[in-house]
Structure 1
Amino acid sequence: MAKTLTGKTNLTTKTYLKEEHHIFRKAFAKFLEKEAVPFVEKWEEDRLVPISFWKKMGEQGYLCPWVGEEYGGLNADFGYSVVINEEFTKLGLGPGGGAILHSDIVIPYIDSYGTEEQKRRWLPGSVSGEIITGVAMTEPGTGSDLAALKTTAVRKGDYFVINGEKTFISNGILGNLFVVACKTDPHAVPGYKGISLIVVEEGTPGFKKGKQLKKMGIHSQDTAELIFEDAIVPVENLLGDENKGFYYLMSKLQQERLIVSISAIVSAERMLEITLNYVKGRHAFGKPISSFQNTQFKLAELATEIQIGRAFLDNLIEKHIDKENFVTEVSMAKWWTSALAKKTASECMQLHGGYGFMEEYEIARWYRDVAVQSIFAGTNEIMKGIIASNLGL
């Protein structure tokens, strides 16, 4: 695997990043150079990033930097999350071995909807790396259709009794705190109005982790099944109001899809960069394959599309930092950048020839790892449906 790079193919100026963000980037890249780069291959083989790395990230302030200082965070803006996401992606660690999911997708639920007691209970450990989180929505037989959830949480006195099964849960093996989507009102019409979010801790009676799932790519992020069999969870673990879970989930999808888009566009930038270097050094018929018109046109097209995607995405990041809502645009960004990443992987792998199919070449890993970007955070078909609906169709 290549070391972290500066992203030479990115020609845009990110106005949302200031001098302090660039200083932070250099420090984080140096941290990854020492604490991650030498171990990426082993993490891929082990199918997880060790807890010791999480704790090192926490010690340096690289987990949940946006969390308030009163809970151990740095009260940093979203630009710092962008930097961390970009540097992790350049390294080829997918969504940061689970750290991006933890910091910028799961913890925002607790920060936004948790009580003061819940925040003081869970946020400091999430910042330090003592707590590793996941969000449990997907179930066997259901994907984006949250109204079809079958996991139930029945109130019995001071406890909820949870029954059901979740699958494809990122951080499912290492995680020790999960935000679980449950049906608390099975008679609600429509069904999504009966969903609540309940925080379940490792060690909860009746809660166990299933098998670790074997994925085609992103091997270093552990993914598992979660099983609830009469799991006993205190009522005080309810996040926000009962039966408002669907609305809470929807409120955070803008940032989640933006994060996927950032990872997708950086993946495309990185694949283009390594392929440009490869074709300049690889010779066929007595000359570098970069001199062939087909190679030049393919890479020219990719460079153009990646640049367009980056410009659009940077504009949305600025809007997000300014707390604007842009459901249609972020749906466009998510499907378009993830589709572009898959296209870039295919074209760049082809330009590598037979070597592109070899595990020792970086493009092979990118090819398998970017495939899921069009699936998670809502499939690209769901994204197009949202866009169509907002167009009045």
Structure 2
Amino acid sequence: MNEVATGLAVGNTARPELAAEAVQQAMQKLGDRVPNSVLLFLTEEFAADPQPAIRAAAAASSCLQVMGCSAPGIFTEQDWVLDTPAAAAMVFSGDVTMLPKPEGPELRMALTAPNALNTVWLQSPALRFGGVSGDATGQGPFSVWQHAKGTPVGHCEAAFRGVNAAVLVSHGLRILTSIQTIDAASDYDLLQLNAQAALPMFHLSFPDTAPSSHLLMAMVADSEAQLLAGDFQLAGIVSENAAQQSLTLTKPLRAGQVVCWGVRAADAAEAELQGLIANQLAAWGRQPAFGLFFSCLGRGPYLYNGMDRDLDALRLRCPGMPLIGFYGNGEIAPHGQGSELLEYSAVLGLFAKD
């Protein structure tokens, strides 16, 4: 009998009954098991006043341990929803439990509003994965809740007991250039590459016209070996500064680091995620019990021309696996002893029974 199950309810208006319906769908799959916790995601139409829907989910599950957030789009293994009011619920029972406010070193799911992001919390000792709530612009209403009510600090986190966890991160980049050395930098400004002014060196990296800046990402690491091993940070381009012959990126830089440039590409993203899932399943030798997936709003159907090939890959590799997630305004993944905020990425948490 299942210990984890999902439900997805879609409507014409943001009615609290959608949250109750999503929970009830999940509970039907659990049979006579009693829920111990609920993960609830609501579309942005609920963001201004999510409490009635949260109460409806709590009442339907007879459980006050309801955690979640609003987002531009949500999904389960059943389907994805954008631009339409909807509720998605994952219900836990039996030995599998979602525990809020963990104090141990275990991996944590983290949900946050954009205005609650801060480096002190994000980089404090704990391995976190998750996503950033918001709307399609990243500026409108957003809500984060735990214990079946909004959280005043704007973020929450939970650990999962009764399962082993693995976090997979897909940046979806096709590498376009060779690795270059950062010889001079000042905070977010890239000043010199390979002993030359950064801006002309950047343009020389592309024999033809460089892709649009919103598609280009810098892959920054402390050494060439780390970059080749996949241990790097992503940084987008904020501006090209002609007067200073420099580039301003979204992450702080320092001399001695290395960088190469990649472009967001659907084929690279699809192949990368498929490979990550296949490798993890081979390492475990069994199917996961459930998955939590946090995808950039700029990925999903917007990257794959109206389809979500990431979800297709999960359905193919993990048939029948309960899955829940949302399209958000940023993704959180473990990095070093803490966590980092990603852009245009997909972060997948897979959980297998102990």
TM over 0.5: no
TM-score range, shorter chain: under 0.3
**TM-score, structure 1 normalization:** 0.22
Q: Which structure dedicates a bigger proportion of its chain to helix?
A: 1
**TM-score, structure 2 normalization:** 0.24
Could you say which structure has the greater relative contact order, defined with CA pairs below 8 angstroms and 6 or more residues apart?
Answer: 2
Q: Which structure dedicates a bigger proportion of its chain to strand?
A: 2
